[in-house]
Amino acid sequence: MRREASILHLDLDAFFAAVEQRDKPSLRGRPVVVGGVGGRGVVATASYEARAYGARSAMSTAEARRRCPPGTAFLGGRFAAYRRTSDVVMALLRELSPLVEPVSIDEAYVDLGAGHGLDLSVDGVTRLAHGLKERIAAATGGVTGSVGIGSSKLMAKIASDLDKPDGLVVVPPGGELRVLHPLPVTRLGGVGPATAERLHQVGVKTVADLAAKSLPDLVALAGRAHGTGLYALARAEDDRPVVAEREAKSISQEETFARDLTDLRVLGRYVESMAARVGSRLRASAYSGRTVTLKLRRYDFTTLTRSQTLPHPTDDPRVIASIAARLLAEAGTQGGLRLLGVGVSGLSLYAQGDLFATDEEPVDDAEEAPGAEVEEAPEPLTAESRWWPGQDVRHDEHGAGWVWGRGLGRVTVRFEGPLTPPGPVRTLAADDPALHPAEPPEWRVSAPAPPTP
């Protein structure tokens, strides 16, 4: 813990849904749910309008559909659009201080103490945060964020959560326990359902209850590392530094199938495709790794992993695929698999194999998903399966728009963009040659100015 409130935490509000409402004017003020739209999808983000009906992150999309009224938009994610908006926000944070730690696409810590000549008084950081929130809203076309500032990562994160959405809370140094102790223990990072249940069984509901427990009690309850961590957090003791760059530890790819799969040949094609994607991601980041892990989830949701460690690191998709395929054959597919995953860990920056690299191209995965080519695959491609709800499109005659829905050989498109009023809906043939997938729309009136040197 520091003597000054010099750590800032930013959490963008209902981020995916907010970007959708910015880019799709007809959805502003209406319930929007972003996530998996297939039969086994889950909610990634629900807009505040959708939360009012009980839609929540991690809920199955089916459940969210039951809870939300007709007219609610259920959209697949547009990650390129979210990434672009996130990059704009992260750049604004780096204007405050060079020490910025992105936690995820919509969340980051900033060490204001590493900034140049900032006023770190409570009034000073409050003014700074107000200015930051204004600049974020202006630069992102109205996406808001909740800011917390405190003497540690713990307090900054707790503070940003106290007044959502569009909030700003500064915990003055010395006021940590007054804020922390009344809160439920589940607000502490690292207290999930399992730990919360065990804590409740020994009468711990609030952080104050937790602080009354002895260190040996907590270690017995939650293990050595976790127990000592909880003991410290309950006292607002937290000296974790803000870390700008983190090395990746693993790279993986997984997929839940629309229907459970049993056929080893079909699953083998998924293994190859996933290994190819993992291999290209490894090569793109100049990593290679020694341990190949196969993950599978059976029809009854039991999940297991099988792994093998190689003597030397690899980024070769053929090596990854053959190991994963063997692990899959050994594990078996009895009863059917709902999920398959392929990952590589034990990463290092240079592959031994690179010294002897051939000119051979890596297996290319981009063009052929396994489902595209085989009749055993669960969902053969149709004209309408090119389109998914939320997708950006352009029509030669009607202009830019986005896909609302599809079915019966048709696709429904709303023609509007972030800078237009709500636009008209048109239903088109799914194979209309004038309809094309498009890039995410530009939300700013003019292109952003190039960064000044």
Partner DNA sequence: TCTGGGGTCCTAGGACCC
**Unique residue bearing structure tokens 């392929």:** 342
Q: What are phi and psi of 346, to 5 degrees?
A: 70, 45
User: Is the CB of 60 or the CB of 126 nearer to DNA?
Assistant: 60
Provide the 3-class DSSP secondary structure of residue 368.
Answer: coil
Positions 412 through 451 that interact with DNA (CB under 7 A)? none
Footprint of DNA on 58-117 (CB under 7 A): 58, 60-62, 65, 103-107
Q: Is 107 a catalytic residue?
A: yes
Q: Which amino acid would we find at residue 48? A: Y
Place of tokens 């604004």: 92
Q: Which stretch binds DNA (CB under 7 A): 80-88, 119-127, 295-303, 390-398?
A: 295-303
Q: Report the residue from 144, 206, 307, 420 that binds DNA according to the rule CB under 7 A.
A: 307
Interface pick for DNA out of 298, 338, 406, 414 (rule CB under 7 A) = 338
Select from 347, 344, 342, 346 the least CA-distant residue to 294.
Answer: 342
Q: Which residues contact 217 (CB under 8 A, 6 or more apart)?
A: 202
Q: Which of 28, 30, 56, 290 binds DNA (CB under 7 A)?
A: 290
Are 281 and 251 spatial neighbours (Cβ–Cβ below 8 Å)? Answer: yes
44 binds DNA (CB under 7 A): yes
Marked catalytic residue, from 20, 95, 107, 247? 107
183 close to 208: Cβ distance less than 8 angstroms: no
Of 148, 150, 317, 343, the one binding DNA (CB under 7 A) is: 343
- 428 within 8 A of 435, measured Cβ to Cβ: yes
57 binds DNA (CB under 7 A): yes
123 annotated ligand binder: no
Q: In whole angstroms, how far apart are CA 408 and each of 53, 163, 385, 428?
A: 30, 45, 11, 11
Minimum gap (Å) between residue 164 Cβ and DNA? 12
CB of 63 to DNA, least distance (A): 7
**Which C-beta is closer to DNA: that of 127 or that of 200?**
200
Is 106 marked within a binding site?
yes
- What is the rounded distance in angstroms from the CA atom of residue 160 to the CA atom of residue 149? 7
Q: Which is nearer to DNA, 130 or 259 (CB)?
A: 259
- Smallest separation, CB 98 to DNA (Å): 22
The span of 144-152, 299-307, 370-378, 431-439 binding DNA (CB under 7 A) equals 299-307
Phi and psi for 328 in degrees, rounded to 5? -65, -45
Q: By CB under 7 A, which span of 143-151, 182-190, 404-412, 438-446 interacts with DNA?
A: 182-190
Q: Check residue 398 for interaction with DNA (CB under 7 A).
A: no
Binder to DNA among 268, 336, 346, 353 (CB under 7 A)? 346
Q: Can you tell me whether residue 207 is helix, strand or coil? A: helix
Applying the rule CB under 7 A, the residues between 243 and 262 that interact with DNA are 246, 248-256
DSSP for 270-285 reads HHHHHHHHHHHHHHHT
Confirm if 166 and 22 have CB atoms less than 8 A apart: no
In the DSSP assignment, the letter for residue 450 is P
By CB under 7 A, residue 212 contacts DNA: no
Alpha carbon distance 188, 157 (integer Å): 9
Among positions 223-242, residues that touch DNA (CB under 7 A) are: 223-226
Binding span for DNA by CB under 7 A among 20-28, 184-192, 363-371, 421-429: 184-192
SS3 label, residue 262: coil
Least Å distance, CB 17 to DNA, is 13
Indicate the burial class of 178 (C-beta count within 10 angstroms; 0-12, 13-18, 19 or more): exposed
Query: In sequence order, what are the beta bridge partners of 345?
Result: 250, 291
Residues annotated as catalytic are 107
Query: Which residues contribute to the annotated binding site?
Result: 11, 106
Judged by the rule CB under 7 A, the positions of this chain that interact with DNA are: 36, 38-42, 44, 57-58, 60-62, 65, 103-107, 157, 188-196, 223-226, 246, 248-256, 281, 290-291, 300-301, 303-309, 338-339, 341, 343, 345-346
